[in-house]
């Protein structure tokens, strides 16, 4: 049987909701690529995070049993001419890193029939040899702008019956 056509929407909405809550808890403006607008307020924030998701990537492992993969990429930008503390963004990245090292609930989120906020499954960090939650420090990205960027890259998997 083919994949459930709602899985892509539910995965995206679940990741977006989870990440936006992390950002709210960390008091950092967040933008979900494909959902939110780059407002002036967002772009001029001392610290901000841009959330991107790729997937789901699906593979039928056996009849009606699927592996669903999702990749999450977070780009943090810190304008340290505003906040003055170059370690602030790294503290925030640490909070996200800790959260990304655990499961992300995948729920039936949305306004379509059957979207009852119930649990579909849990997106779990992949545990393969090259699947660690990775943090990349790009440092100051422009010689004139006093800003630096840090990225977190994480890969997740869940297994679902269709």
pLDDT at 23: 97
Q: The domain that contains 18 carries what CATH number?
A: 3.30.2000.20
Task: Tell me whether residue 54 is in a domain.
Answer: yes
- Is the CB of residue 150 less than 8 Å from the CB of residue 89? yes
**What predicted TM-score, i.e. pTM, was given to this entire model?**
0.90
Task: Tell me whether residue 57 is in a domain.
Answer: yes
HSE-up of 149 (CA within 13 Å, CB side)? Answer: 10
Task: Tell me whether residue 2 is in a domain.
Answer: no
Residue 86 has phi, psi (to 5 degrees) of -75, -10
pLDDT at 84: 63
Largest CA distance in the chain: 56
Number of domains in the chain: 1
Structural domain that includes position 132: 7-161
Task: Tell me whether residue 112 is in a domain.
Answer: yes
Task: Tell me whether residue 106 is in a domain.
Answer: yes
pLDDT at 131: 83
Q: 6: alpha, beta or left, given left = phi > 0 and alpha = psi -120 to 50?
A: alpha
Could you list the beta-strand ranges (E) of 27-145. 30-32, 47-62, 65-79, 104-107, 119-125, 134-140
pLDDT at 85: 66
pLDDT, tens digit, 9 for 90 and up, residues 128-158: 888 889 999 887 777 777 788 999 999 999 9
**Cα–Cα distance between 9 and 114 in angstroms, integer?**
13
Task: Tell me whether residue 1 is in a domain.
Answer: no
pLDDT at 116: 96
pLDDT per 10-residue tile (average), the chain, 162 residues: 90 97 96 94 93 95 95 92 72 94 96 94 91 86 79 96 86
């Amino acid at each position: 049987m083919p994949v459930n056509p709602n899985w892509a929407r539910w995965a995206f909405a679940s990741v977006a909701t989870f990440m936006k809550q992390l950002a709210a808890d960390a008091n950092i403006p967040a933008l979900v690529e494909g959902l939110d607008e780059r407002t002036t307020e967002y772009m001029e924030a001392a610290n901000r995070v841009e959330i991107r998701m790729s997937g789901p990537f699906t593979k039928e492992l056996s009849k009606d049993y699927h592996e669903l993969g999702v990749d999450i990429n977070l780009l943090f930008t810190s304008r340290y001419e505003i906040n003055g503390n170059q370690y602030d963004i790294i503290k925030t990245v640490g909070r996200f890193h800790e959260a990304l090292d655990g499961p992300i609930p995948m729920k039936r989120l949305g306004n379509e029939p059957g979207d009852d906020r119930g649990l579909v499954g849990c997106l779990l960090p992949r545990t393969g040899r090259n699947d660690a939650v990775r943090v990349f420090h790009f440092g100051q990205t422009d010689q004139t702008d006093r800003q630096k960027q840090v990225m977190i890259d994480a890969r997740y998997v869940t297994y679902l019956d269709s």
